[in-house]
A and B are shown apart, each in its own frame.
Chain A
Amino acid sequence: MSPWLVGFSVFFGYPLVMSAYLSLNHYDLLSSPRWVGLANYRYLFSVDPQTWTAVKNTLWLIGVLVPLQVLSAFGLALMLARARTGVGIFRTIFYLPALAPPVAATLGFVFILNPATGPVNTILGHLGISGPLWFQDPSWAKPSLVMLGIWGVGNTMIIFLAAVLDVPRTLYESAQLDGAGPLQRLRYVTVPSISPVLLFAAVLGVIQGLQYFTQAYVAAGVASGQASQAADVTSVSLGYPVDSTLFYPVLLYQHGFVDFQMGYASAMAMFLFAVSFVVTLAIVINSRRWVHSGAR
């Protein structure tokens, strides 16, 4: 126990306290921290126009991606649950993309969706449709990331599938005796029976949405390099195109580790902490429904 207590205080407790302190300072890593009070927060919320962009993008992503992921994972799980043959093969096919390393998956999608010669637009072209510019178009960049997110829904699907198969058959039978059709059984038996798992997936999705970084960073970097052939991708490309993929963690990265405004980045981190804490609290309060502590 004690090594973990040490580890906890060093890698978790200390940074939290330190983050709160640094957020009240101006600090660039070179000169020592200079006390500025709440100036960082004031700038963050009322001056910096990028904050609002980043918050809006993050909320958009969570609001669109999480429901779509839960729905598609649920749909796939239902189809798998009622399939009689080939379940193993289908399950593997749906699960594999979730395994693909995020950087590799993102790179693949940026290529497949590249506007000029990418396979998707080529095929759309054959069908007489001129495809969108995907990662090059500010209004299509986020939907492209959503497609990438749905592709990687395998983990959630496996969890849903196990839960759906766990629903006692007697429940369906008695529902059928009561005259419930397939849709009613879905609505009144399946969904309530696995609701803790659905809720768990949704909550996890929100938390992951608050941390969304890798895919946005890589997609913006690779897509912008493609457009401008710029040599130095890392510093110029964050949020490409036109800040449409500038999510809150990306902006935090930019302030902290491109511009080295450590105080300002800490203020951003504290705000993220507050939001995550509220979400976490909501979970802990609801957790009795799925976290069965103690013996069962």
Chain B
Amino acid sequence: MTVADVAVPLVRRRPPARVRRKRLLVAVANHSMLIAASVAFLAPFVFIALTALMTNDQALSANLWPHPFAWHNFVDVFTKAPLWRWTLNTFEYALLATLGVVVSSVPVAYALARLRWRGRNLAFIIVLVALMLPPQVTVVPLYVAWAKFHPFGFNFIGTLWPVIIPNWFGDAFSIFLLRQFFLTIPEEYMDAARVDGCGEFRILLTVVARLAKPAIAAVALFSFLYTFNDFFLPLLYSGESPHHWVLSIGLSEFRSLHQVQWNLTMAATLLVMAPVIVLFFLAQRAFVEGVTLTGVKG
């Protein structure tokens, strides 16, 4: 079970028939296992999709194949639940938070990677600690603070602002990832720009931002995914005000809202999965590169 067996042999001579047969058998076994695993990984999607196309009576029966196909379910979910409202809230949260993460994390990561200043190592250790801390550790006092904070009589509890605003002050994971990437950019580029009379901020905007495009794209992508999927924090702050629910909260309450049926619940589930999956196929390379960046380069 190693890569070596797969790799093209250095010697061009055809290997003896016995070896070739053995290789073929191993390849067949390997592919059979891959196909079996693929079936297992795809099955949940298939069952969700099939149920989403069933009538309610059928979803409650033991039949696995929809008969007839109830395409109308995908229209009905929008009338049964304020799916549009939740979608708008979700994108408001995800886009504003992602923008904030990118705008605030890039300069910090640059300062940590390329500028020399006192306390830089300490700041980096703090980023590492912040990276590892469960959000539950700080959530109680933050909630208390937002609950007691009423500028001009505006009440933050019940809105999404308490989950959006912190993203504009840097995100530990993004800072960490960007810093690691900035370290790989040769210092000569920055020096050349400095010789030409470029300020650090302009270097960041022109030289670094352009060279680090894949890393910045990965950070934006992850931040969007994280906020799109986020459940815990929106639940805390807007759980009691359905008008400000995001898709994840709406979906979790979907079935109990009006005693909604499984078929419609699965249709909504599929609709919530759809944007992420579409995004994946649009930006597949950025995804794979980004995930690899977090694990290996890190």
Contact = CB atoms under 8 A, between A and B. Distances in A.
A246 B298 CA distance: 33
Contacts, number: 307
A90 B298 contact: no
B295 A29 contact: no
Interface string A69-110: 000000010111111111000111111110111111101110
Nearest to B48: A108
A156 B296 CA distance: 11
A172 B4 contact: yes
B296 A7 contact: no
Nearest to B35: A90
Given A280-B128, A284-B125, A211 B236 contact: no
Contacts of A105: 44, 273
Interface in B37-87: 37-38, 41-42, 44-45, 47-48, 50-51, 59-62, 64
* Interface-centre pick from B1, B41, B135, B287 (highest chain A CB count, 10 A): B41
B231 A103 contact: yes
B6 A81 contact: yes
Interface in A259-289: 262, 265-266, 269-270, 272-273, 276-277, 279-280, 283-284, 287
Interface in B211-263: 225, 228-229, 231-232, 235-236, 239, 247-249, 251-256, 259, 262
Contact of A169 (B3, B59, B126, B248): B3
Contacts of A8: 126, 130, 169-170
A10 B134 contact: no
Given A15-B138, A165-B3, A266-B141, A7 B251 contact: no
Contact of A283 (B124, B132, B235, B276): B132
A236 B256 CA distance: 13
A103 B273 CA distance: 10
B111 A159 contact: no
A164 interface: yes
* Interface-centre pick from B60, B147, B232 (highest chain A CB count, 10 A): B232
Given A93-B41, A107-B251, A207 B134 contact: yes
Nearest to A295: B183
Q: Interface residues of B toward A: which range?
A: 35 or more
B255 to A, nearest CB: 6
Given A99-B276, A111-B51, A117-B59, A94 B44 contact: no
Interface in B252-298: 252-256, 259, 262, 265-266, 269-270, 272-273, 276-277, 280, 284, 287-288, 291-292, 294-296, 298
Contact of B295 (A14, A82, A200): A200
A150 B128 CA distance: 27
Nearest to A248: B136
A112 B59 CA distance: 11
A76 B273 CA distance: 23
Given A108-B44, A159-B292, A164 B138 contact: no
Interface in B123-148: 123-126, 128-130, 132-145, 147
A257 B64 CA distance: 40
Contacts of A217: 231, 235, 252
18 contacts: A4-B107, A11-B138, A15-B137, A84-B6, A93-B38, A103-B272, A105-B273, A108-B45, A111-B48, A111-B266, A158-B288, A172-B4, A182-B1, A182-B5, A214-B232, A277-B129, A287-B128, A294-B183
Given A105-B273, A218-B231, A273-B133, 14 more contacts: A1-B107, A7-B169, A7-B170, A11-B166, A15-B140, A83-B27, A104-B270, A159-B292, A183-B1, A225-B256, A253-B136, A253-B232, A269-B139, A284-B125
